[in-house]
């Protein structure tokens, strides 16, 4: 039996029934990584020994009769944005090459508490800035559907790992779409929970008011299982929400949209959207209606300002967040020959340690926060943010969830937009509004685009703390589509052969 083709839910059942050991499950996935990661390059660090030791520990506890959590013994891949004690954490950057943190992020602590087997750290755009994982200092990740295509970003490594069956589950972080967009272009499920719903303690900061850790899975239920295990209040994160995690697993099992009011966002369509994406989206709308939902059009007039507002707020916050990388306490130190002073060493280190996109955003952010420019740029962007929140509030007054395509296009070619920042930024058009508002949003596969046979994602958006609605709708859509397709979408992914 090929354990790598099982879902997390299936593995959980098998493990609980002791039909398979955690060690076997871990080994199967490590073997798969060894077999295909040379081509995919999803992983920056594979923690084989540690994973097997963790798995052995789970097996021992289960053998001793202990009642274990649902994810005990289930493998997870962890985006390299999450700090892991003693395990290399690079955030996709040269400046943290070789850094071994002295502490664990809360997300990782929770994964361990749930008994999950951590397979290793996945590739990402440097400091989470990008939509293709091409900004990684360690080389790009390749989309398992077509190795010449990008897997999305910034959580491209995690999405590819799941799509390539290297792990049933993976963690990512979403700031402008960095979970949903890779999920969409890799044909898997990915959620941006409500901001504050999952702890940012130990998540290397990109844009503090936007960063949201979240789950990837091949199925909606798997994603819900990880979502539940990861989330919840953390006293180490002041922005963490002190309320119970919405009942996402129950909602995923319920999978029923009859009577739900669903709004199609008018503004998230039109120019710049690939026809094949729009037609798959239209099919999704029709399916949801068929399943009993009431679908209408809703206008969110300020959404067209979401992209420029985001590209002011995020770089501003990151210009400050990345100031700590200065060669003094950890990470790369360049040019310390005894002649150069501290400032010179700092500047040389950051010049060598940061990639082009990171430099662009730091400079942009420094500009937007400068006295004289603050009101016109950062200040204005924060006002636009308020207007976008109000658009959502008004919309959710009429409907229970909003939907749109997750991205305007399918996976583009590696190298195609690499030196065209503006073109790259457009990949986040649909996902950014939810980040600015702090709402919950999910991407679930809704088919393959006619032009290129590449996956298209359906995005569902819900109000803050209504994450369960996402899973209810996504699960219903998934069931409906799977029935139509007759097989999981991923079976079409030929990038890695069988």
Partner 1 sequence: MPITRDEVAHLARLSRIALTDQELDHLAPQLDQIISAVAQVQEVAAEGIPPTSHATGVTNVYRSDEPAPCLTPAQALDQAPAVDLQRFRVPRILGTEE
Partner 2 sequence: MTSMTSAVTERYDPVIGLETHVELGTRTKMFCACTTVFGGEPNSQVCPVCLGLPGSLPVVNKLAIEYTIKIGLALNCSIASWCRFARKNYFYPDMPKNFQISQYDEPLCSDGYLDVQVEGRTVRVGIERVHLEEDTGKSLHVGGATGRIHGADYSLVDYNRAGIPLVEIVTKPVEGTGALAPVVARVYVTELRDLLRSLDVSDVRMEEGSMRCDVNTSLSPAGSGSWGTRTETKNVNSLRSVERAVRSEMDRQADVLDAGQLVTLETRHFHEDSGTTTSGRSKEEAQDYRYFPEPDLVPLAPPADWVEQIRATLPEAPAARRARLQADWALSDLDMAALTNADALHLVEATVTAGASPADARKWWLGELARRANEAGTELAALKITPEQVARVAALVSDGTLNDSLARQVFEAVLAGQGDPDQVVAARGLAVVSDDGALTAAVDQAMTANPDAVASIAAGRTGAIGVLVGAVMKATRGKADPARVRSLIEERVG
Q: Residue 488 and residue 498: Cα distance in Å, rounded?
A: 14
* Catalytic residue check, 178: yes
- Nearest partner of 182 among 158, 199, 204, judged by Cα: 158
**Burial of residue 398 (number of CB atoms within 10 Å: 0-12, 13-18, 19+):** exposed
Contact partner at residue 89 from partner 2, partner 1, none, CB < 5 to 8 Å by partner kind: partner 2
Contact partner at residue 124 from partner 2, partner 1, none, CB < 5 to 8 Å by partner kind: none
Is 243 one of the binding residues for partner 2 (CB under 8 A)?
no
Contact partner at residue 438 from partner 2, partner 1, none, CB < 5 to 8 Å by partner kind: partner 1
- Nearest partner of 153 among 136, 178, 183, judged by Cα: 178
Q: Angle 395-401-402 (CA atoms, 0-180°, nearest 5)?
A: 65
Is 390 one of the binding residues for partner 2 (CB under 8 A)?
no
| Active-site pick, 6, 12, 21, 79 | 79
What string of H, E and C letters represents the secondary structure of 401-465?
Answer: EEEEECCCCCCCECCCCCCCHHHHHHHHCCCHHHHHHCCEEEEEEEEECCCCCCEEEEEEEECCC
Q: Angle 26-222-163 (CA atoms, 0-180°, nearest 5)?
A: 65
Nearest approach in angstroms of CB 97 to partner 1 is 11
Contact partner at residue 416 from partner 1, partner 2, none, CB < 5 to 8 Å by partner kind: none
Nearest approach in angstroms of CB 494 to partner 2 is 38
Q: Site for partner 2 (CB under 8 A): which residue of 89, 122, 131, 136?
A: 89
* Catalytic residue check, 192: no
Length of the chain: 498
Report the sign of the C-alpha dihedral through residues 459, 463, 469, 471, in that order: positive
Q: Angle 257-260-266 (CA atoms, 0-180°, nearest 5)?
A: 110
Nearest approach in angstroms of CB 238 to partner 1 is 4
Piece of the chain touching partner 2 by CB under 8 A; list 111-119, 223-231, 237-245, 480-488 = 237-245
Q: Site for partner 2 (CB under 8 A): which residue of 35, 279, 330, 479?
A: 330
Q: Angle 86-331-234 (CA atoms, 0-180°, nearest 5)?
A: 55
Residue closer to partner 2 (CB basis): 183 or 346: 346
The mark string for 344-383 relative to partner 2 (x by CB under 8 A, - otherwise) is: --x-------------------x--xxx--x---x-----
* Catalytic residue check, 359: no
CB neighbours of residue 266 within 10 Å = 14
| Active-site pick, 6, 173, 178, 199 | 178
> Interface with partner 1 by CB under 8 A: which residues?
99-103, 195-196, 209, 235, 238-239, 241-242, 302, 305, 308-309, 311-312, 319, 323, 326-331, 333, 336, 338, 340-348, 350-351, 354, 356, 359-360, 362-364, 366-368, 370, 376-377, 379-387, 389, 421-422, 436-438, 464
Q: Residue 463 and residue 397: Cα distance in Å, rounded?
A: 10
Contact partner at residue 316 from partner 1, partner 2, none, CB < 5 to 8 Å by partner kind: partner 2
CA 357 to chain centre: 19
Is 400 one of the binding residues for partner 2 (CB under 8 A)?
no
Question: Residues with catalytic annotation?
Answer: 79, 154, 178
């Amino acid at each position: 039996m090929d354990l790598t083709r099982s879902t997390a839910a299936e593995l959980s059942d098998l493990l609980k029934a002791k039909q398979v050991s955690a060690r076997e499950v871990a080994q199967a996935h490590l073997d798969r990584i060894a077999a295909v990661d040379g081509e995919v390059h999803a992983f920056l660090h594979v923690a084989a020994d540690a994973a097997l030791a963790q798995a052995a520990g789970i097996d021992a506890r289960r053998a001793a009769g202990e009642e274990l959590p649902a994810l005990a013994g289930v493998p997870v891949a962890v985006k390299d944005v999450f700090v892991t004690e003693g395990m290399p954490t690079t955030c996709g950057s040269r400046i943290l090459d070789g850094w071994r943190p002295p502490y664990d992020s809360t997300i990782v602590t929770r994964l361990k508490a749930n008994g999950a087997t951590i397979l290793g750290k996945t590739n990402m755009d440097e400091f989470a800035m990008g939509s293709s994982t091409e900004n990684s200092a360690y080389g790009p990740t390749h989309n398992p559907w077509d190795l010449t295509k990008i897997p999305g970003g910034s959580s491209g490594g995690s999405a590819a790992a799941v799509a390539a069956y290297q792990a049933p589950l993976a963690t990512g972080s979403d700031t402008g779409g960095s979970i949903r967009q890779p999920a969409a272009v890799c044909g898997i499920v990915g959620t941006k929970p409500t901001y504050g719903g999952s702890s940012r303690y130990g998540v290397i900061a990109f844009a503090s008011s936007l960063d949201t850790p979240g789950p990837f899975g091949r199925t909606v239920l798997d994603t819900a299982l990880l979502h539940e295990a990861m989330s919840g209040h953390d006293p180490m994160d002041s922005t963490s929400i002190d309320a119970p995690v919405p009942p996402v697993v129950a909602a995923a099992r319920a999978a029923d949209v009859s009577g739900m009011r669903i709004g199609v966002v008018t503004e998230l369509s039109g120019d710049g959207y690939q026809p094949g994406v729009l037609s798959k989206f239209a099919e999704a709308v029709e399916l949801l209606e068929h399943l009993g939902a009431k679908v209408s059009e809703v206008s969110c007039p300020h959404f067209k300002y979401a992209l420029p507002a985001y590209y002011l707020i995020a770089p501003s916050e990151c210009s400050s967040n990345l100031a700590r990388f200065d060669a003094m306490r950890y990470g790369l130190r360049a040019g310390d020959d005894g002649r150069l002073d501290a400032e010179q060493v700092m500047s040389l280190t950051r010049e060598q340690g940061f990639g082009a996109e990171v430099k662009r955003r730091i400079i942009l952010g420094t500009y937007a926060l400068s006295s004289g420019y603050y009101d016109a740029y950062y200040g204005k962007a924060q006002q636009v943010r308020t207007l976008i929140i109000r658009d959502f509030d008004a919309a959710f007054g009429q409907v229970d969830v909003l939907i749109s395509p997750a991205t305007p296009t399918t996976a583009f070619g590696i190298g195609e937009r690499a030196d065209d920042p503006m073109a790259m930024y457009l990949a986040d058009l649909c996902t950014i509004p939810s980040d600015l508002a702090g709402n919950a949003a999910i991407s679930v596969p809704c088919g393959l685009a006619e032009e290129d046979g590449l996956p298209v994602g359906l995005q569902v958006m819900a109000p803050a703390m209504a994450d369960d609605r996402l899973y209810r709708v996504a699960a219903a859509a998934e069931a409906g589509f799977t029935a139509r397709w007759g097989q999981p979408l991923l079976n079409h992914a030929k990038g890695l052969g069988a």
